[in-house]
A and B are shown apart, each in its own frame.
Chain A
Amino acid sequence: MDFRLGEKELALKEEIRKFAEAELPPDLVRNTVIDGEFRDFEFEISMSRKLAQRGWLVMSWPEKYGGCGASLLEQTVYEMEIAYWGIPGAWMGISGIQWVGPCLMMFGTEEQREKYLPLIASGEKDGVWCTGYSEPNAGSDFANIRTQAIRDRDDYVINGQKVWTSAAHRARWCWLAVRTNPNAAKKHQGISIFIVDMKSPGVTVNPILNYYGRHHFNEVFFDTVRVPASNLVGEENKGWYYLMQSLAFERRSIAPTTYGSLKRILEDLAKYAARTEYEGQPLSKNPLVRGKLADLAIDLEVLKMFAFQLAWRIAQGQIPVYESSRNKIMGDDLMRRGAIAGAEILGIYSQADPDSEWAKLNGAVQGAYLGFPGQAIAAGTAEIEKSIIGQFRLGLPKSY
């Protein structure tokens, strides 16, 4: 056993700190949990470009696709630090870096890799992706999707509707799950994945505002959209397997990013408590405040260990069965608790709009408070994740 970070990781942390100090405006509103990536898109893409120039944007990819072959451990540290400093633009929409790229490397053709991976790695707008998974009748019951692709000579013709599609309004490409065999014995056996150009005729993107009026996700309609057959990922009707892998990739990055952003919030709250007077002494002397922050620190340490353990397992060449789900549950739960405890410590100021001059800590706590209920649903609800642990780790019977 060895829980040390290597020299590479420690140096990387230091470089990212310097980068953040040099490149970020000091009053940056750090409520990324609710805004996601897409509010000030030009600024975000300008940061993506800078991250790409540093060789960080897709650091763990092979060099020939624009990466620098960094280890998954470095990647994990990078994700933690990016979130800690609140550096926007790190994800190129909400799919490209985290799962489209890695899935294409596993299941895509060489032509697909050569075309799409360098675009993502460039940090330019043409490398921004969205992911079309959920539909009106396929949420947790994801295998129930009805958007259909029918082969027509060298093309497939796609019809249907996706919903909750994050970043669709910014994306150049869509990683799209569709039904290719409506007669398969089991629903999940008739699913395939396509790469769709969002500029294709027949694609319509309608905004769905979240409850705070922010435009993060969309509904996307596909009306007789023609896609070349070469845009099929892997084999036809084998999509479910790729999807599960993509979700594991997506869930993996939740622990490092949640760790980073909450660590920052925790540190900022500790400083806030130390400089805020209450009843003649600093708020930090209040036993309730001390207890709340200590409790967060304990589980933040758990989240850190979970994040590293999962990265380590993948780096060993093992395919994690349940760890991504474990980490997602832990991360989401901690984000909820951190937001609530943070708001309690900020007291009456916690209701101030995160953008307003009244918001403490640059609105980070309000951002988390408004953001966590959504984050907890994306990529699988706690209920779905717990069922995965029950079934695949503990060997319990299927529960749905």
Chain B
Amino acid sequence: MDFNFTEEQDMLRISARDFLAKECPKAKVREMAKDERGYDVRMWHSMAELGWMGLVFPEEYGGMAASFMDLVILMEEMGRNILPGPFFSTIALCALPLLEYGSSEQKTKFLPQIAEGEAMWTFALAESSGKYKASEVRLRAVLRETDYVLEGHKLFVTDAHVADYILVVGRTGDGERPEDGITLFMVDARGPNMKMETIPTIGGDRQFKVSFDGVTVPEDNILGKIGKAWDIVDFVLQRAAVLKCAEMSGACQAALDMTSSYAKERIQFDRPIGSFQAIQHKLADMLIDAEAVQYLLYQAAWGINVGSPSRWQISVAKAKANEAYQRICIEAIAAHGAIGYTMDHDIGLYYRRVKGAQFAAGDTDLHREVIAVGLGL
């Protein structure tokens, strides 16, 4: 057993932290929440130059051939700084399944563009029920000559407005199980017969309803096998759950650090409020929550890293992160008092992102159910 990161991993963390502290201060986060694109183009290209987009790609696709754990470390730092933009949707939701399930033509065509920061992607799964279940996939895809024609809509598609491609989960058939007949389409996001409507969110990120009104997709742009793509969706949900956990873990640590510093500086009754047990014990609880998220995250990520991912451990980590991140933010605001409730203070930026993070790659109920099944229930 070994809880240490490698020296290279420690260096990756430090360089990511330094870069983000410099390039992505909270003023930038606030600015991007109002920005039409929602991310800083210059920063995006710098990130690509640092090799972040292609971090886990093999070198032949312009990548750094780093490990999944390295990506976790990077995204923990992104979460600490609440980096705005389409990194999660491009890399966690799309590049990873492309890498795992894409044909060599598809990989050669798409991955280098992503590594260079030239292409952005997003993933479209949820429909009206908002649930990530195969039974809820209604979007129809019908074969007409050599193209599939998509009819339906998707909700809460992140960063669709800047995406070049959307991975769309559609139904090409019906079988015994709802998972049968699910197909994944790589849809040109700038093509005709598609409509995007903003879904304004409390997190300040960019989410959309995307309507497909006779969108044609050539057969070449199917990822995996026709009618058998639910396994890929499942893969995406598991990997993305871990990477979202990484962001949440970083955010938990940032909220804790911020509150701990404030408790040392803020004087009331002639003493720093951190000397009061009501505040100190709250902070101790926050620390335990933050470390719980960290270690569950590392355990789940390590399983993936060594090629034996555990669905159960992934769900345990995401379910914990969902609750702990929310609790830490609420306690952090309480410890700050009224200033924590203001637009000017940073803690609110973290709290406002709780909801989006919870629903990304599976809400608590979804993961609790996986855990219950694992218990033999």
A290-335 residues at the B interface, CB under 8 angstroms: 290-291, 293-295, 297-299, 301-302, 305-306, 308-309, 312-313, 326, 329-330
Shortest distance from the beta carbon of A123 to any chain B beta carbon, whole Å: 28
B276-325 residues at the A interface, CB under 8 angstroms: 276-277, 279-281, 283-285, 287-288, 291-292, 295-296, 298-299, 302-303, 305-306, 313, 316, 319-320
B369:A290 contact, CB within 8 angstroms: yes
A396:B264 contact, CB within 8 angstroms: yes
A312:B275 contact, CB within 8 angstroms: no
Query: Chain B interface mostly helix, strand, loop or mixed?
Result: helix
Residues in B neighbouring A389, C-beta threshold 8 A: 283-284, 287-288
B1:A5 contact, CB within 8 angstroms: yes
Given contacts A5-B1, A298-B319, A398-B275, contact A387 B280 (CB under 8 A): yes
Shortest distance from the beta carbon of B68 to any chain A beta carbon, whole Å: 11
Per a CB cutoff under 8 Å, which of A298, A309, A386, A398 touches B3? A309
A390:B283 contact, CB within 8 angstroms: yes
Q: Interface digits, B247-265 against A, CB 8 Å rule (1 contact, 0 not)?
A: 0000000000000100110
The distance in angstroms between the C-alpha atoms of A267 and B271, with both chains bound, is 48
Residues in A neighbouring B275, C-beta threshold 8 A: 396-399
> Using a Cβ–Cβ cut-off of 8 Å, how many residues does chain B contribute to the interface with A?
45
A270:B375 contact, CB within 8 angstroms: yes
The distance in angstroms between the C-alpha atoms of A3 and B288, with both chains bound, is 20
User: Does B175 interact with chain A (Cβ within 8 Å)?
Assistant: no
The distance in angstroms between the C-alpha atoms of A130 and B291, with both chains bound, is 34
Shortest distance from the beta carbon of A338 to any chain B beta carbon, whole Å: 13
A399:B377 contact, CB within 8 angstroms: no
Which range holds the interface residue count of chain A? 35 or more
B277:A387 contact, CB within 8 angstroms: yes
Residues in A neighbouring B320, C-beta threshold 8 A: 298-299, 301-302
Shortest distance from the beta carbon of B42 to any chain A beta carbon, whole Å: 34
Residues in A neighbouring B260, C-beta threshold 8 A: 394-396
Shortest distance from the beta carbon of B341 to any chain A beta carbon, whole Å: 23
B302:A290 contact, CB within 8 angstroms: no
Per a CB cutoff under 8 Å, which of B272, B283, B316 touches A301? B316
Q: What residue in chain B is nearest A76 (Cβ atoms)?
A: B1
Shortest distance from the beta carbon of B9 to any chain A beta carbon, whole Å: 8
Residues in A neighbouring B372, C-beta threshold 8 A: 290-291, 293-294
Q: What residue in chain A is nearest B285 (Cβ atoms)?
A: A386
Residues in A neighbouring B305, C-beta threshold 8 A: 1
Q: What residue in chain B is nearest A397 (Cβ atoms)?
A: B275
Q: Interface digits, A190-234 against B, CB 8 Å rule (1 contact, 0 not)?
A: 000000000000000000000000000000000000000000000
Per a CB cutoff under 8 Å, which of A4, A390, A395, A398 touches B281? A390
Per a CB cutoff under 8 Å, which of B276, B368, B377 touches A295? B368
Q: What residue in chain A is nearest B372 (Cβ atoms)?
A: A290
Q: What residue in chain B is nearest A6 (Cβ atoms)?
A: B1
Q: What residue in chain A is nearest B256 (Cβ atoms)?
A: A394
The distance in angstroms between the C-alpha atoms of A326 and B264, with both chains bound, is 21
Residues in B neighbouring A299, C-beta threshold 8 A: 292, 320
B377:A309 contact, CB within 8 angstroms: no
User: Does A45 interact with chain B (Cβ within 8 Å)?
Assistant: no
User: Does A273 interact with chain B (Cβ within 8 Å)?
Assistant: yes
Given contacts A295-B368, A305-B299, A389-B284, contact A397 B264 (CB under 8 A): yes
The distance in angstroms between the C-alpha atoms of A35 and B287, with both chains bound, is 32
User: Does A383 interact with chain B (Cβ within 8 Å)?
Assistant: yes
10 closest cross-chain pairs (CB), A and B? A390-B280, A386-B284, A305-B295, A397-B275, A396-B274, A290-B372, A389-B284, A294-B371, A386-B281, A294-B368
16 contacts between A and B (CB under 8 A): A3-B299, A290-B369, A298-B320, A298-B371, A301-B296, A308-B3, A312-B2, A313-B3, A330-B288, A386-B280, A386-B285, A387-B277, A389-B284, A390-B281, A390-B284, A399-B276
Contacts A266-B375, A390-B281 known; list 7 others, CB within 8 Å: A274-B376, A294-B369, A299-B292, A301-B320, A306-B292, A393-B284, A396-B264
